[in-house]
Amino acid sequence: MNSPTLRTAVIGVTGYAGAELAHLLLQHPRFATTPPLFLGRLGEGESVALTSLHPQLSGLSNADDLTVSPFNWQQLQQEGIELLFLATPHEQSREYAPIALAHGIRVVDLSGAWRLQHDANRAIYKLTDADPAAASFLQTEAVYGSPELHGPAIAAARLVANPGCYATSIILALAPILRANLADLGCGIICDAKSGVSGAGKTPTANTHFMYAADNLSAYAVFGHRHTGEMLEQLHLDNAQIQFTPHLLPIPRGILSTIYVRLNQPTSIESIQSCFNDFYADSPMVRVRRSPMLPQIQHVVRTSFCDIGFQLSPDGKRLVIVSCLDNLLKGASSQAVQNMNLMAGWHESEGLL
């Protein structure tokens, strides 16, 4: 596909990631005259003005004239929708994606429903399928939507599974080192990651309530976070080779991941720098810092970039990598737009810089 525009729709625009996705699409140069169709999630009953849900979008191209309509497959067909974003819970995405594909509509799914190829990793989502055999076949077709790792496959895909936010920050930090076979995996890799509260979604919980999260820092889901499976599969590691511990920061958005790697031989700063620079030479949404500069959340918040930096111990054997991104953008919505751009035959950074 390589056309001047594309008929797109978003199901689930009411959440945090859905709102960011709407903002990006309304500013995307390809949609100035053909704005996306916005649909509510299942059970969200009446049409409402888009800007009544998200007043911050008022004034963007077409935004004040658009509504969020009740979910309806017939409307998608009538509107000639070619690509559908699913900003829906995992269970709904697991149900909706096969139906969309049967209607000839390509899918970018922002949930975890189609990210994991191994049953043991996917079990954490407790998904059920009306037709397990058909879902299993479709699962093998789903492409993990990391443009930096799988760009050509994404361009040809019918179903793209947008990566998780924590997973994106850690996979992008480690992929160059692991592909260059520089890590001593017998020593294990430690990933200490911290995220703003929006990473938990819009529905409040006891742990994301202001009185719990403010002036606090807490670890959670130790040995059991659902993004761990993505790291294992995409980095070709097993559980004994990586430890991921997420923490909740008392800030609205942003992720900082600090990753500790023991190298399998003494290595120079120049070699590590070249490893990252070469790996991401054609990746416009990854910014590699020159050591010893390290990225910070304030450098990436409300941008579509993942920033990566590192420092190396004096003996050249211990590497600390810091990776930062905005969990609602590069960790969700802007990565989804990157994937759409590739699927449409456009430059992956279009509408994001």
Summarize pLDDT for 295-349 with one digit per residue, the tens.
Answer: 999 999 999 999 999 999 999 999 999 999 999 999 999 999 999 999 999 999 9
Q: Which two tokens stand for residue 289?
A: 């810092």
Q: Are residues 147 and 173 in the same domain?
A: no
Residues 144 and 184 in one domain: no
Range of the domain at 80: 8-163+332-344
Pick the residue with more confidence: 209 or 60?
A: 60
pLDDT bin (cut points 50, 70, 90) of residue 202 is confident
Residue 349 is assigned to a structural domain of this protein: no
Q: Specify the pLDDT at position 141.
A: 97
* Number of folded domains that form the chain: 2
Q: Are the C-beta atoms of residues 164 and 230 closer than 8 Å to each other?
A: yes
Q: Within 13 Å and on the Cβ side, how many CA atoms surround 82?
A: 13
- pLDDT of res. 244: 97
- 121 and 143 in contact (C-beta within 8 Å)? no
Question: What are the residues facing 307 on neighbouring strands?
Answer: 287, 324
Do residues 121 and 250 share a domain? no
Residues 37 and 124 in one domain: yes
**pLDDT in the model for residue 42:** 56
Provide the pLDDT for residue 204: 72
Regarding whether 151 and 50 lie in a shared domain, the answer is yes
In this structure, are residues 262 and 178 in contact, taking their beta carbons and an 8 Å threshold?
no
Q: What is the pLDDT of residue 41?
A: 64
The answer to pTM > 0.85 is yes
If asked whether residues 142 and 241 sit together in one domain, one would say no
**Residue 349 near residue 338, CB atoms below 8 Å:** yes
Query: How many Å apart are CA 353 and CA 1, to the nearest integer?
Result: 22
**Which CATH number characterizes residue 130's domain?**
3.40.50.720
Q: pLDDT value at position 210?
A: 82
H or E stretch at 69: strand 67-69
Residues 101 and 143 in one domain: yes
Section 62-81 average pLDDT: 92
Same domain assignment for residues 178 and 310: yes
Residue 188 and residue 285 share a domain: yes
Domain shared by 295 and 171, yes or no: yes
Looking at the annotation, which residues are catalytic? 165
Per-residue confidence (pLDDT) for residue 72, from 0 to 100: 85
